[in-house]
């Protein structure tokens, strides 16, 4: 169910807005080689104020992934990217705002 965001089309208003926003941004298609999955409160229908759209991926080449993120999204509002070590695993976190949603 969560491997595609199509289920959001018929969900709550926030889910429908998230679907429309992610579709216009085309981010899940852009990241398809990294098995992107939308996670967090939106997919499971928890309605909280100040939510964001969290996407997790599977990355084996951090440098190429970081380059893709920069090339594709660095012009978005409040873009920032960082790399850190979490439980011994190197991770990349990128954030930006698109159509009022924090991605």
- Residue-wise pLDDT for 75-96, tens only, equals 999 999 999 998 998 999 999 9
What is residue 37's predicted lDDT score, i.e. its pLDDT? 93
- Tell me how far CA of residue 5 lies from CA of 19, 64, 72, 81, in angstroms: 7, 25, 20, 24
- Residue-wise pLDDT for 32-73, tens only, equals 999 999 988 777 777 667 668 999 999 999 999 999 999 999
Mean pLDDT in residue range 8-33 = 92
Beta carbons within 10 angstroms of residue 30's beta carbon: 15
Question: Rounded to two decimals, what is the model's pTM?
Answer: 0.86
The Cα 34–Cα 59 span in angstroms is: 6
What is residue 48's predicted lDDT score, i.e. its pLDDT? 66
């Amino acid at each position: 169910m969560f491997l595609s965001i199509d289920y959001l089309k018929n969900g709550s208003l926030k889910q429908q807005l998230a679907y429309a926003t992610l579709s216009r941004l085309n981010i899940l298609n852009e990241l398809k080689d990294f098995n992107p999955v939308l996670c967090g409160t939106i997919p499971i229908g928890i309605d909280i104020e100040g939510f964001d759209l969290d996407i997790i991926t599977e990355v084996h080449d951090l440098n190429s992934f970081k380059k893709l993120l920069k090339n594709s999204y660095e012009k978005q509002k409040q873009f920032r990217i960082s790399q850190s070590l979490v439980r011994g695993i190197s991770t990349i976190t990128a954030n930006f705002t698109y159509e009022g949603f924090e991605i």
